[in-house]
Amino acid sequence: MPVIWVVLGIIVLVVLAGVVAYNRFVSQKQLIKDAWANIDTELRRRYDLIPNIVETVKGYASHEREVLENVTQARAMATGATGSPAAQAAAEGPLVAALRQLFAVVENYPDLKANQNFLALQAELSNTEDRLQTARRFYNANVRDYNRRVQSVPSNVIASMFHFEPEEFFEVEEALRGDAGVPKVSFEAGAPGVSFGSPSEPSTAPPATPPAGTPPPPEPGRPDQPAG
């Protein structure tokens, strides 16, 4: 009789573990769905900003037709992309490249760089890019946790039984990714008008070697002695 109770107890524990594992998979799938909705929201906001930016640039640089058309066409392709995150990411790459080309062209038009409407649109685009990258990291973190459980023992048994398949990451090509920096305007002396790099970091390069024959600078606290 005690053996039967032990067996029943083991069966109950296994069933409970299976239910918990299943519910966790469902919860993770919902988290991924919600995270993707955040990405989609930011992408749509960016798509809505682009036509206004293009029209503003066109008012100052209408002859830059090829650049403007590239942005418009890339936006149309990205807007029309549907399906998997990988397919959406593939469509985003050309759009980001076209935007960077557009902002590079803006460097040649000081009046456009100083236009308040353009600066406001650019600031909003910058904020949108920041939110998009935050949403992307959150989405990919959830996908990573979920995929790990799908492929790990013993949770992979439940995943196989109930057809929980691995999810795709949302990754933009490294050279075009927003992590490399959002276009920013700078009017400081000696600074480029438009830059795409991340915030500057202290240089780790060794100091430049002075030309041969150059006298060393005087040591601190020891002014040069007058010539005798």
In this prediction, residue 1 carries a pLDDT of 64
Determine if the pTM surpasses 0.95. Answer: no
- Residue 50 CA to residue 75 CA, distance in Å, equals 8
Using alpha carbons only, give the angle 194, 195, 200 rounded to the nearest 5 degrees.
140
Using alpha carbons only, give the angle 220, 226, 228 rounded to the nearest 5 degrees.
140
What tokens does 210 get? Answer: 């002075």
**What digits encode the pLDDT tens for the residues 9-53?**
888 888 898 999 999 999 999 999 999 999 999 999 999 999 999
- In the chain, what are the domains? 2-195 (1.20.1440.20)
Phi first, then psi: give them for residue 112, nearest 5 degrees. -70, -40
In the structure, what pLDDT confidence band is assigned to residue 189 with cuts at 50, 70 and 90? very low
Q: Where are the beta strands (DSSP E) in 63-217?
A: 184-185, 194-195
Instruction: Report the b/e string of 103-119 with b at 16+ CB within 10 A.
Output: bebbeebeebbebeebe
Instruction: Please name the residues in contact with 94: beta carbons below 8 A apart, sequence gap of 6 or more.
Output: 74, 77, 78
Nearest to 164 by CA among 141, 191, 146, 176: 146
CB neighbours of residue 128 within 10 Å? 21
- Residue 184 CA to residue 118 CA, distance in Å, equals 12
Q: Is the pLDDT at 180 greater than 90, yes or no?
A: no
- Residue 58 CA to residue 156 CA, distance in Å, equals 55
3-state class of 48 per DSSP?
Answer: helix
